[in-house]
Structure 1
Amino acid sequence: MSNNVTEKTEELVLPILERLDLELVDIEFEKEGKNWFLRVFVDKTGGVDIEECGQVSEQLSEKLDAEDPVTFPYFLEVSSPGVERPLKKKKDFENNIGNNVYVKLYEPLHDSKEFEGVLKSYEDEVAVLEIKIKTRKKEIEIPFDKIAKARLAVTFN
Structure 2
Amino acid sequence: MKQLLDLNETAYGRTGPVEERVWAILAPVAEDMGYRLVRVRVTGDNGCTLQIMAENAQGDFTIQDCEKFSREISPILDAEEPIERAYHLEVSSPGVDRPLVRLSDFELWAGHEAKVELAQLQNGRKKFRGILQGTEENKILIHIPDMPKGEEPVWALNIEDLAEAKLIMTDKLLDEARARQEAASPLDNPDVETEIDEADHDKDGTDEA
Q: TM-score range by the shorter chain?
A: 0.7 to 0.9
Given candidates 39, 61, 73, the residue that maps to 1:60 is 73
> Contact 1:116–1:153 at 8 Å: present in 2 too?
no
* 5+ residue gaps, structure 1: none
- The answer on 1:3 being equivalent to 2:3 is no
Q: Which moved more, 1:49-58 or 1:140-149?
A: 140-149
- The answer on 1:153 being equivalent to 2:180 is no
- The answer on 1:140 being equivalent to 2:164 is no
| Corresponding residue SS for 1:88 | coil
Q: Distance in 1 between matches of 2:114 and 2:170?
A: 9
Scaled by the length of structure 2, the TM-score of the pair is 0.60
- Greater share of residues in strand: 1
Aligned-residue offset at 1:154 = 2.3
Aligned-residue offset at 1:77 = 0.7
Aligned-residue offset at 1:103 = 2.4
Q: Which has the higher contact order (CA 8 A, sep 6+)?
A: 2
Scaled by the length of structure 1, the TM-score of the pair is 0.76
> Contact 1:126–1:141 at 8 Å: present in 2 too?
no
Residue in structure 2 matched with residue 122 of structure 1 by the alignment: 135
> Contact 2:54–2:94 at 8 Å: present in 1 too?
yes
Residue in structure 1 matched with residue 83 of structure 2 by the alignment: 70
RMSD: 3.0
> Contact 2:37–2:54 at 8 Å: present in 1 too?
yes
* 5+ residue gaps, structure 2: 1-14, 173-209
Aligned residue pairs, count: 152
Q: Distance in 2 between matches of 1:149 and 1:71?
A: 25
